[in-house]
Amino acid sequence: MIKILLFLFICIFSFKSYSNEVQIVNEIIGNGLEVKNHSKVSVHYIGKLEDNTVFDSSYDRGQLFDFQIGVRQVILGWETGLLGMKEGGKRRIFIPYELAYGESGAGSLIPPKSNLIFDIEVLKVIPPGYKEIDGHQLKLAMTDDFKIIDIRNEDQITNFNKIPGAIQITAFDKNGNFSPDFFEKYKENVKIGEKVIFISQNGDISSILANGFVEQLNQLNIYHLKDGVSGLEKINFDFE
């Protein structure tokens, strides 16, 4: 029960908080694995105010900072500001206060409404535990023993974009509220260990759900469709 409650908290929080208004000031491109949503990363960083006052530094502590992208373990500016970086890369990002510590600031070191500057070095990237597939791979999966779960709400599904063989189990309603009967319907249709593909309208929500199943519920064989139904429409997918 505790795992399910934690799962719901992370899914809902991620669903309602996604943003991408961070500026990349400069960058040295790395050559290792790329940081994507839900990657686990190990970084060094220096945090500064706009007047260059340093308020935090992992280098000074001599300890890497480890966290997972996309589950609100860090401020929103970090959630999107690291996306696209690669192992060995360095990036300076400017984060407006709305995506940092907001109007209240943080303690005595970060005043209210402080825009922040971070110098970040990515040392290690671990890909998400779920697998991401594209529309062409979905076509192949439809001939295999996958359970395809369409998690869109009724307003997103039309007579022209229904996915053949997909099981309709709405995860979030149009207001972003998690459907209370989702888990019950899921258990009615999917056995433990079966290969599951989550599909949402644009792919963002299905990735959040897939990550929750892997990280919080310890499920295996979890996939999500990159770019969702919107991506399928671009490749002339044969809808139902």
What average pLDDT values come out for the chain (240 residues) when binned by 10 residues?
45 49 95 96 98 97 96 91 97 96 93 97 97 95 94 89 95 87 95 95 93 92 96 91
Give yes or no on whether 20-126 and 131-234 have one common fold: no
Does domain 20-126 sit in CATH 3.10.50.40? Answer: yes
For residue 172, which of 191, 190, 198, 134 has the smallest C-alpha distance? 198
pLDDT of residue 176: 81
Alpha carbon distances (Å) from 51 to 44, 54, 141, 181: 21, 9, 53, 51
pLDDT of residue 153: 92
Superfamily designation of domain 131-234: Rhodanese-like domain (3.40.250.10)
pLDDT of residue 216: 87
pLDDT of residue 236: 86
pLDDT of residue 71: 87
pLDDT of residue 177: 85
The domain ranges of the chain are 20-126, 131-234
Instruction: Give this prediction's pTM.
Output: 0.83
pLDDT of residue 14: 52
pLDDT of residue 4: 47
